[in-house]
């Protein structure tokens, strides 16, 4: 359904009841990446998932999309949906970057945090240059070349062999991201703040999930977050790459459910 939040109509899904868990997708994905979690978790909890600006069914607005802007959209969605109790915020990759911005701006919204396949640090100079190159290509040739390059590394090597239908599903989800959304999100990620200093201040229980074969973000990033966030657990998911919630949904769901039950 569409909700009005400030100057934008956000597409969101809202299922189940009880403790709220907000799912924030990665780049350049959308709500559909959370399909295995929405069904499973909404039997016990209220699960809200959001299509960020320019992704899925939420239309683009002029960029860049700073992580703070996207975090404020998430906060606005919770307010519009009448979520007054603190929620568990779950962000994957770019969704993790947004979760850090949300924590900096609205820590009172959090009862727990799930950080999946993400990192606290900012882009290196090389990563920034790569973003600039991807932006230039997307503006000139459209987003398809970027989607094709990303699709080669989003999943674990074994996933490409074992789950071809999942590869097709991910390709379909990528293709739903608008070109303006791609450029604006790349600009926002390129310029994002370093959240490393925030880690020691996070005072809610935190679950850190990382696919053992993630080809985009190394496991050392999750180990660093685990070392610095006081009340955190790190779980490594075998046979999964950068999208462990889609590649190993049963394991991801079970670890998430255990964490939610422990709060
Ligand atoms: C994501 O999955 O959200 C992106 O790979 C994150 C990034 O490009 O830094």
For residue 26 and ligand 1, the question of a CB distance below 6 A is answered with yes
Atom of ligand 1 nearest to the CA of 243: 2
| Residue whose C-alpha is closest to residue 99's, from 176, 208, 231, 258 | 208
Give the integer Cα–Cα distance in Å for 23 and 62: 24
- Closest ligand 1 atom to Cα of 27: 3
Pairing of strands 110-116, 206-211: parallel
Domain count, the chain: 1
Cα diameter, the chain: 49
Q: pLDDT tens per residue, the chain (263 residues)?
A: 999 998 899 999 999 999 999 999 999 999 999 999 999 999 999 999 999 999 999 999 999 999 999 999 999 999 999 999 999 999 999 999 999 999 999 999 999 999 999 999 999 999 999 999 999 999 999 999 999 999 999 999 999 999 999 999 999 999 999 999 999 999 999 999 999 999 999 999 999 999 999 999 999 999 999 999 999 999 999 999 999 999 999 999 999 999 999 99
The ligand 1 atom at the shortest distance from the C-alpha of residue 96 is: 3
Dihedral sign of CA atoms 100, 106, 108, 111 in order: negative
Contact 145, 137 (CB under 8 A): yes
Which 8-state DSSP code applies to residue 194?
A: P
- State the CATH number of the domain containing residue 120: 3.40.50.1820
CA–centroid distance, residue 46 to ligand 1 (Å): 26
Contact at 8 Å (CB) between 115 and 91? Answer: yes
Q: How far is the CA of 26 from the centre of ligand 1 (A)?
A: 6
**Segments forming the whole domain that contains residue 149:** 2-262
Residue 93 in contact with ligand 1 by CB distance below 6 A:
yes
CB-CB contact of 48 with 13 (8 Å): yes
What would you report as the CA-atom Rg of the chain, rounded to the nearest whole angstrom?
Answer: 17
Return the structure tokens found at 226: 């685990």
Sign of torsion over alpha carbons 37, 39, 44, 46: positive
């Amino acid at each position: 359904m569409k909700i009005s939040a400030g100057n934008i109509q956000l597409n969101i899904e809202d299922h189940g009841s009880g403790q709220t868990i907000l799912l924030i997708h990665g780049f350049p994905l959308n709500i559909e990446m959370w399909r295995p979690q929405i069904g499973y978790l909404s039997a016990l909890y209220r699960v809200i998932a959001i299509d960020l600006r320019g992704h899925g069914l939420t239309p683009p607005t002029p960029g860049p999309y700073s992580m703070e802007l996207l975090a404020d959209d998430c906060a606005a969605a919770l307010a519009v949906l009448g979520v007054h109790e603190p929620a568990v915020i779950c962000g994957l990759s770019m969704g993790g970057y947004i979760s850090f911005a949300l924590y900096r701006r609205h820590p009172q919204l959090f009862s727990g945090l799930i950080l999946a396949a993400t990192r606290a640090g900012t882009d290196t100079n090389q990563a920034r240059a790569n973003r600039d190159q991807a932006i230039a290509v997307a503006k000139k040739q459209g987003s398809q070349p970027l989607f094709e390059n990303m699709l080669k590394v989003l999943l674990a090597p074994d996933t490409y062999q074992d789950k071809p239908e999942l590869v097709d599903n991910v390709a379909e989800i990528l293709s739903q991201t608008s070109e303006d959304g791609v450029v604006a999100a790349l600009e926002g990620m390129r310029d994002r703040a370093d959240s490393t200093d925030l880690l020691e201040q996070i005072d809610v229980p935190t679950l850190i999930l990382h696919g053992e074969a993630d080809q985009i973000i190394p496991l050392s990033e999750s180990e660093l977050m685990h070392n610095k966030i006081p009340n955190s657990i790190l779980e490594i998911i075998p046979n999964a790459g950068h999208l462990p919630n889609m590649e190993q949904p049963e394991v991801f769901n079970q670890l998430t459910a255990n964490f939610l039950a422990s709060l």
